[in-house]
Chain A
Amino acid sequence: MNCESESLLEIKDLKIAFKTPEGIFHAVKGISLEVGKREIVGIVGESGCGKTVTALSIMHILPDNSVATGSIDFSGIDLLSLKENETRETRGRDISMIFQDSLSSLNPLMKVGRQIEENLMMHTSLDSRNRFLEVLDIMHKVGLPDPEQTYKKYPHELSGGMRQRIAIAIAIVCNPDLIIADEPTTALDVTVQAQILELLRKINRESNSSIIFISHNLGVVREICSIVYVMYAGHIVEKGPVNKLFTDPAHPYTMGLIKAIPKRDSKGKELFDIRGRVPSIADSIPGCPFEPRCDYAVERCKKEFPGFKKIANDHEARCFLAGDI
């Protein structure tokens, strides 16, 4: 995956707010990110940092009480300005999404094969015979045993790993340019997780789809992504190539996250923990949102939230001290 690859998706200054009876809450506070063709880009962060909401806004499936501003440019189209019926065209065909919990994202009353076929029905002109063959083919491709039998099953009859494969089959059946995978392996066991990651890598390699991979698990992200964005409290605080980010993180939050995972040699030592907790969406923070938990914070951090500081060509972080710690 080279850096000069053309960009497929470009998000600029995306802000997402929710109107509730208690007031307006800002879930995403102006983020910009870019996904190149054939790239696997990771978004990492803890719960409530805005990663899923970002994904939903790309898919145009945010709840009704939300307002999204900024721009999401997908090969020349501004997704945010599309009307509902126009987004239906792209959704599923050009961009598709894999959700975390396949049990609730699949229709419990519909045979899984039909659910894959539905996507073909929406977006292609294949007749029913060819659709059926196509579905069997894609089921085979995602590694489902005995496609003809599995076609007739309902979601509850399948195991978690197999359901996630169905969800992936639905997502890739129309050969999308971009797949958004929102915590696709979180609900799975480690051995099954390894299978699914392998499958996603294969899809990326063979059908040239770009993938946005959202996860809170740094290990998984390290394994599959080439570029990683770290989110905290609605902001992107660091972006960089995966290896640099892990060996030489620049933002204290990224450092903390990496240090907090037990490793081979951490046995018997106290684990590093990031003190305090993630700020609530209702808190208004004038300075750096990470300042109250940061070990390196200086007076200035309380008042100002710095912009991105370049550490290397493709590696930047929103911290005054980035590169100096």
Chain B
Amino acid sequence: MKRGILEIHDLRKHYRLRRTRLLKKPGSIKALNGVSLSISKGESFGLVGESGCGKSTTAYTIVGLLKPTEGRILFKGDDVTSLKRNQKREFRKKVQLIFQDTSGSLNPRGTVEWILREPLRAMGMQKREIKELILESMNLVGLDKDLLGRFPHELSGGQKQRVGIMNALILNPEVVIADEPISSLDVSIQAQILNLMNDLQERLSLTYLFISHDLNVVHYFCDRIAVMYLGEIVELSESEELYRSPLHPYTQSLLSAIPGETGHKLERIILEGDAPSPLNPPTGCFFHPRCFRRMAICSSVKPQMTEVTKDHFVSCHLY
């Protein structure tokens, strides 16, 4: 594999639970169970999966909002988990996050200008510079400068997300992690934001890690896609290839479950039950209790990631 701008090796995040009984060993929620991926410069990498599969935990761990239990995160070859304070600051400038919930991620008591100014001031920029930079980037994301004095509740959903995007881009990052950036928006606004993000990628040569539960959107937006299930990556491939010939039964069922006209040839597969709890994951392959192609081996042996065709990886005993 060639060196990516952002690489994750065997990332694990476990949450210890409180001891329920005195002599019982406390359990732990295994949110991430060894996630590895490598994102190359300039690409859009998609991470899909259902709620609770660890998509957001991955994002938060990369930017340092959560501490990984194990594993390494490399940005341009340097391990960011062991950075010194001032190096960390540099890293945070270069890797930024766009949040899902726009109303929750913008300070309700600050004006748009204050929200945008604060991170710049923390980075030690001069007042004059800050003002110029803010105006310039307002222009970039298509916001009117009259909005600077407004508070978040006075903005529409689309405008709020544009402020969120601006907040991420204003320090000129190289990697932007977008955690469900459009799922709280209306359909007609979703397209606007996707187009904006595409346009910005071209202009600023950004690298995206795009997290979503919507396979159609990820397929549209990303070059490569990793499918997550219960804290693990179960399939990783170039996006067109994944869409055309999904290998993992979970990916197949996800694709077949997209409602409406998708042009997908797959027969509808309706999975039984819900995703199991990460507190008490099944043995063997995590997907086997819901899998429609399970075999005897699946309940006891965990499958390994294998490259089935070129650049198409899957972890399933069928291959």
A residues with a Cβ closer than 8 A to B are: 46-47, 145, 159-162, 189-195, 197-198, 216-223, 246, 256-257, 260-267, 270-275, 277-278
B258 with A271: CB separation less than 8 A: no
Who on chain B is nearest to A143 by CB?
B272
B188 with A189: CB separation less than 8 A: no
Check if B124 is an interface residue, CB within 8 A of chain A.
Answer: no
- The answer for the CA separation of A223 and B256 in the assembled complex, in Å, is 13
Q: Which 10 A-B pairs have the closest CB atoms?
A: A219-B260, A262-B220, A264-B263, A189-B50, A260-B191, A273-B191, A219-B259, A274-B188, A46-B186, A194-B257
Q: A270-B198, A273-B191 are in contact. Are A190 and B270 (CB under 8 A)?
A: no
B residues with a Cβ closer than 8 A to A are: 50-51, 156-159, 186-192, 194-195, 198, 213-217, 219-221, 239-240, 243, 253-254, 256-264, 268, 270-271, 273-275
Highest count of chain A CB atoms <10 Å: which of B188, B195, B256: B188
A220 with B220: CB separation less than 8 A: no
What residues on B are CB-neighbors of A216 within 8 Å?
186-187
Partner pick for B270 among A195, A219, A246, A275, CB 8 A cutoff? A195
A217 with B243: CB separation less than 8 A: no
Apart from A189-B213, A262-B219, A278-B188, what are 17 other A-B pairs with CB-CB below 8 Å?
A46-B187, A145-B273, A160-B274, A189-B50, A190-B254, A191-B270, A193-B259, A194-B257, A220-B260, A222-B260, A257-B187, A263-B220, A267-B219, A267-B220, A270-B198, A271-B194, A272-B191
What residues on B are CB-neighbors of A267 within 8 Å?
219-220, 239-240
Who on chain A is nearest to B51 by CB?
A189
Q: A189-B213, A189-B275, A194-B270 are in contact. Are A265 and B187 (CB under 8 A)?
A: no
Q: A191-B253, A262-B219 are in contact. Are A270 and B195 (CB under 8 A)?
A: yes
Who on chain B is nearest to A198 by CB?
B270
Q: A190-B215, A262-B219 are in contact. Are A223 and B259 (CB under 8 A)?
A: yes
- The answer for the CA separation of A234 and B137 in the assembled complex, in Å, is 35
Highest count of chain A CB atoms <10 Å: which of B190, B243, B260, B274: B260
Who on chain A is nearest to B49 by CB?
A189
B257 with A223: CB separation less than 8 A: no
B50 with A191: CB separation less than 8 A: yes
What residues on A are CB-neighbors of B256 within 8 Å?
194
Offer 8 A-B interface pairs, CB within 8 angstroms, sorted by A.
A189-B51, A193-B259, A194-B270, A194-B271, A216-B186, A220-B259, A222-B261, A278-B188
Q: A195-B270, A270-B195 are in contact. Are A256 and B259 (CB under 8 A)?
A: no
Nearest chain A CB to B57 CB, angstrom units: 16
What residues on B are CB-neighbors of A246 within 8 Å?
261
What residues on A are CB-neighbors of B220 within 8 Å?
262-263, 266-267, 271
Q: A162-B274, A216-B186, A271-B194 are in contact. Are A223 and B260 (CB under 8 A)?
A: yes
- The answer for the CA separation of A193 and B215 in the assembled complex, in Å, is 14
Nearest chain A CB to B104 CB, angstrom units: 16
